[in-house]
Amino acid sequence: MRVFDRIDPETIERRHWQLSILSLGMILILAVGMALLMYPAVFAHRAAATAPPSRTLYFSFCALCVLVVAYLLNRQYVVHQLRAKVVEEKREIANLRESASADLLGTLLGFSHFQDRLTMGFRRAAQICEPLSLVLVRLKLAPMFANTPEGLVALGDAARVLTTKLRGEDSLYRLSSHVFGIVLPNTSAAHVKGIADRVAEGLTDAAGVSNRFSFENRVVNYPDDVTTAYEMEQIAGAFSAQKA
């Protein structure tokens, strides 16, 4: 049965439908055959005298019935095993995605480190008269994904998108459970708006067709929007404190 067991899991539904049709057809054939074999014995007094079926034919028919039933049972077992395998693989993939997302989110530094990085970056920017920008992103999980493993995966996917948008000198922080902040040294207001647009495009793709989450972003720039690091920090804190 090894040859027949080589079934692509992606076609399992179609093969299950084919197996059902085959089972119905074979049962119908067996029923008709059994009726024909029983007819001479039941209606012998009405039917014309004919030679009785040979024993070889009778036992061959019985053997065929046994083989067909055994084959159908085997196919049903194979389909059941494939279904169980697909379910197990999906479960393993979900666990791996959840673990990878948790690991990624765990590597992101929190608000205190963000404050330190912002203070140092602002001091440097003020000394050499270069701009400093901040992109804040707040996610809101869809109700069906809130407080579920898929919600954690969605947050991990969003963090992964933000990571891909970083340059070498940029840094990403997790300000709260659903808020991220990106510090962008030497980035003007015009340039940071383009980065924010690319971040929004990436997050839209990460949300998927099921709209796992919605998001809101905000851009803060020195010296266009703020004049001190404290102001920028206050804006980030207030943005993080707002409910998703």
Please tell me whether residues 139 and 52 are part of one structural domain. Answer: no
Cα separation of 188 and 57, whole Å?
A: 91
Q: What percent of the chain has pLDDT over 70?
A: 81
Please tell me whether residues 90 and 133 are part of one structural domain. Answer: no
Please tell me whether residues 227 and 128 are part of one structural domain. Answer: yes
DSSP, collapsed to helix, strand or coil, labels residue 169 as coil
DSSP, collapsed to helix, strand or coil, labels residue 219 as strand
Cα separation of 96 and 114, whole Å?
A: 29
Asked whether residue 89 is assigned to any structural domain, the reply reads yes
pLDDT, averaged across the chain: 80
Asked whether residue 1 is assigned to any structural domain, the reply reads no
Domain boundary among 36, 69, 104: 104
Distance set, CA 66 to CA 63, 73, 134 (Å): 5, 11, 74
pLDDT mean by block of 10 residues, the chain; 244 residues = 56 71 74 69 53 61 73 77 84 87 86 88 87 90 82 87 84 89 88 87 83 87 86 87 70
H helix or E strand, kind and range, residue 192: helix 189-207
Please tell me whether residues 84 and 135 are part of one structural domain. Answer: no
Please tell me whether residues 167 and 83 are part of one structural domain. Answer: no
Asked whether residue 230 is assigned to any structural domain, the reply reads yes
The parent domain of residue 118 ranges over 108-241
Please tell me whether residues 74 and 128 are part of one structural domain. Answer: no
Please tell me whether residues 38 and 95 are part of one structural domain. Answer: yes
